[in-house]
């Protein structure tokens, strides 16, 4: 059983993914609505996987993703990016560019198919690296 941190401020998205994970897997899901709340939660417990919404309050989702990938304590955590809205051309290009430079472990758009989400999560967890480190926020 994995500990998954979902960073998403949309209650409908949170409930939908909770339902998928509750009925299709035995993973534990923690919810954060902002990037700061996610950081606070990572200080307490390192997640095995992060589900990151591109559009979160307190940070640009891709910039926060880059911060997670560049920080020694979180760079090995598998990250699956999700979005509840169709991407405009500029955002789609940014997602591809960031994915090429700082690999992400999955990308999924709503509506999310339960089987596809579980397949992406299982694949990301099986590729995940060890090296458990406690999160310490980067200094400004």
Q: Which CATH number fits domain 3-127: 3.20.20.70, 3.40.50.300, 3.40.50.1820, 3.40.50.2300?
A: 3.40.50.2300
Question: Does residue 49 surpass a pLDDT of 90?
Answer: yes
Gap between the Cα atoms of 71 and 77, Å rounded: 10
pLDDT for 132 equals: 40
User: pLDDT-based confidence at 42, cuts 50/70/90?
Assistant: very high
pTM comes to 0.84
pLDDT for 98 equals: 80
Gap between the Cα atoms of 117 and 74, Å rounded: 22
Who has greater pLDDT, 113 or 137?
113
**Cβ atoms 58, 35 nearer than 8 A:** yes
Give the CA distances from residue 11 to residues 17, 46, 84, 115, in Å, rounded to whole numbers and listed in that order. Answer: 10, 23, 11, 21
| Ranges of each domain in the chain | 3-127
């Amino acid at each position: 059983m994995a500990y998954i941190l979902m960073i998403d401020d949309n209650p409908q998205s949170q409930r939908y993914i909770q339902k998928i994970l509750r009925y299709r897997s035995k993973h534990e899901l923690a919810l954060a609505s902002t990037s700061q709340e996610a950081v606070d939660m990572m200080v307490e417990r390192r997640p095995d996987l992060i589900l990151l919404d591109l559009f979160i309050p307190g940070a640009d989702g891709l910039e926060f993703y880059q911060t997670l990938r560049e920080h020694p304590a979180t760079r090995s955590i598998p990250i699956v990016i999700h979005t509840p809205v169709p991407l405009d051309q500029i955002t789609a290009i940014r997602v591809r560019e960031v994915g090429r430079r700082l690999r992400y472990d999955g990308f999924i758009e709503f509506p999310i198919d339960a089987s596809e989400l579980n397949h992406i999560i299982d694949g990301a967890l099986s590729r995940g690296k060890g090296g458990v480190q406690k999160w310490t926020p980067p200094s400004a």
